[in-house]
Amino acid sequence: MSYLLALRHRSEADMAGSDTPATWTVASVDIRRLKYFLATVDHGGIGRAAQALLVAQPSLSQAIKTLEREVGTALFERRGRGLALTAAGHALIAPARQLLRDAAAATAAAQDVARLHAGWLQIVALPTLAVDPLAELTGRFRARHPNVGLDVVAPADADDVVERVRAGDSELGLTLLPGVHEDLRHYELAPQHFDVVLPPGSKPGTGRRVTIDAAALDQLDWVITPPATSTRALLDQAMADSGGEVRIAVETDDREAIVPLVLAGAGATLLPRSMARQAADRGALVRAVRPPLVRRVGLLYRAQTLSEPARAFMAAASAPS
């Protein structure tokens, strides 16, 4: 492992008595040789340092000579049968100790992430998918790895999910399948089921039944997102398949406003099943669509090796719920 080290030492001109000031030399040095250097300093000589490090004395001597070549100046000078530090050697001690501490900290940080004792994972997810299924998947993941945080990013659209994963800005992308992204891989999750959510007291010809026929969807007034959104596309396709048209009561891109509008009687909406259940807890009526209204969802990732947090998230996603 090599590090860049800035070391101030006397140049040849300095040693010749020139008035030229001492200069900073930037050198790339091996962390092992810095460790050998400090051992030689701490143990008072190469022989005792070699014994402490369990290395051959000639190997240690050669390592010191190589380090001196790397930094461009002598670090020790012989005095009788021993060694004494030069001015450059004294100057090297503090930054060398700091580099060893930094190297140890960097290694420990990487190992913590690898062992899932720390770290972050960024996931880019379409807004409806960030609630269902990402909320449940996040709960599973955090139960297993409470020290790893998640950064959930909202994309501009489905294409932005692909581009962010492709560029490496986000390691995982939660999006709709299928998609045209041959350079990326995907892991398909359980399909996402949608239910119709109705204002309290609604009786759209279903009585006490818990389902509604897809062919009857054109009889409802809808509180729905704009055409460019994925949920609207799903409703439009369902209407097209049954030969009907969407009757818009309220069109809004404010997803937070949709359930309150439904509860206030503005119209019906289409929500992922987990969100529909939450709306039911607030008084809305929920009807499953017959035949089921579903869409395929999955996690996108690059073909390169995934980080340990990303692998762990994939494992949590594939585990039985």
Per-residue confidence in pLDDT tens, the chain, 321 aa = 555 554 444 444 343 444 444 444 455 778 899 999 999 999 999 999 999 999 999 999 999 999 999 899 999 998 877 889 999 999 999 899 988 888 888 887 888 777 788 888 999 999 889 999 999 999 999 999 999 999 999 998 889 999 999 988 899 999 999 876 778 999 999 999 999 999 998 875 444 458 899 999 999 999 999 998 889 999 999 999 988 899 999 999 999 999 999 999 999 999 999 999 999 999 999 999 999 999 999 999 998 778 889 999 999 998 876
**R_g (Cα) of the chain, nearest Å:** 33
Fold equal for 2-114 and 120-190+298-318: no
For residue 304, the model assigns a pLDDT of 77
For residue 87, the model assigns a pLDDT of 94
Which CATH code fits 2-114? 1.10.10.10
Domain boundaries, the chain: 2-114, 120-190+298-318, 192-293
**Angle separating helix axes 134-144 and 308-318, nearest 10 degrees:** 120
**For residue 286, what are the β-bridge partners?**
197
Nearest-angstrom CA–CA distance, 185 and 171 = 12
Assessment of whether the complete model's pTM goes beyond 0.85: no
For residue 204, the model assigns a pLDDT of 54
Nearest-angstrom CA–CA distance, 84 and 40 = 10
For residue 20, the model assigns a pLDDT of 45
If we measure between CA atoms, which residue out of 102, 75, 89 comes closest to residue 3? 102
For residue 170, the model assigns a pLDDT of 93
For residue 12, the model assigns a pLDDT of 40
**Angle separating helix axes 255-263 and 273-281, nearest 10 degrees:** 50
Q: Mind spelling out the 3-state secondary structure of 192-253?
A: EEEEEEECCCCCCCCCCCCEEEHHHHHHCEEEECCCCCHHHHHHHHHHHHHCCCCEEEEECC
**Angle separating helix axes 46-53 and 31-43, nearest 10 degrees:** 120
For residue 13, the model assigns a pLDDT of 39
CATH among 3.40.190.10, 3.40.50.720, 3.40.50.300, 3.90.1170.50 for 120-190+298-318: 3.40.190.10
**3-class DSSP state of 300:** strand
For residue 314, the model assigns a pLDDT of 93
With left for phi above 0 and alpha for psi between -120 and 50, is residue 17 left, alpha or beta?
left
For residue 209, the model assigns a pLDDT of 53
CATH among 3.40.50.620, 3.40.190.290, 3.40.50.300, 3.40.640.10 for 192-293: 3.40.190.290
For residue 320, the model assigns a pLDDT of 78
